Amino acid sequence: MFKIGWQVYRERLPALVSVQRRRRIVVVGVIVAFVALAGLVVLGLFFDDGSVPVAAAVVVAVLFASGIGLIGTCFVPVGPKGWNVPPIPGIGWRTQEAVARYYRRNPPAVDPKHRDAVLHGMPETRDLLVRAAFRGYLLLGGWALALLATVLLNVFTVSSNDDIVGLSAVWILIPASGAVTAIGGIRTLGRQEQLRVEAEALPPVPPAPPARGRPGNPKGSKLSLPGD
């Protein structure tokens, strides 16, 4: 399922996140990274106690600043205004619950009467998932670089300092939020593509038959009113 979702993600991403937006993301990331690097250099000049070799300090600073730059790119718009607003369902809540069951583990086969409901709003939801996953991967990439820098800092200072620097529960919260939109989004894309193929293979649901009665006979009271 993840493989199918990854294929959908790669196919739709170039069309959804334009070259201009990607360039803007790169520019913002570089600017944020340089500002963060400058701040780390200033902090190093004021608080450096000589326990970390200069080369190691440079590597840690560059990695950490790059991670901050990637996290900063998460705030760059990756779509038109309102892209992250889910489409309003055009189906009843009972049908929504039935469709939601198809996205869970061990889902049942698509009921023919739910064919149109499954396909309803699928392109809009798919594009929302692709953009959200792209932003989630930026967050995960920034987290990975910043965590690597923090681990290296502790490795370089372990001989001179017994305290652990910068490692806390926040390193668990950041990837958790990114994984929901990135990894979870790709899985949902895969399941959505499977549902699309399954639903489109079903015959369309015929329209409801018209109300029974003699054609041409007006409904309601047959008493004539004055002036008729």
Say if 219 falls within a structural domain: no
pLDDT digits (tens, 9 = 90+) for 51-108: 677 888 889 899 999 999 999 999 999 988 877 777 777 778 888 888 889 888 888 8
φ, ψ of residue 76 to 5 degrees: the values are -85, 130
Evaluate if pTM is beyond 0.85: no
Q: Is residue 100 assigned to a domain? A: no
Structural domain count of the chain = 1
Confirm whether 225 is domain-assigned.
no
- In this structure, is residue 68 part of a structural domain? yes
Is residue 39, in this structure, part of any structural domain at all? yes
Spell out a b/e string for 131-140, using b for 16 or more CB atoms within 10 Å of the CB, else e: bbbbbbbbbb
Determine, yes or no, domain membership for 220.
no
Q: Examine residue 53 and state whether it is found in any structural domain, yes or no.
A: yes
44-53: pLDDT as tens digits: 888 776 667 7
Residue 163, domain extent: 2-90+123-200
Task: Using alpha carbons, select from 196, 187, 198 the residue that is nearest to residue 9.
Answer: 187
User: pLDDT at residue 214 above 80?
Assistant: no
- DSSP secondary structure string for all residues of 127-158: HHHHHHHHHHHHHHHHHHHHHHHHHHHHHHHT
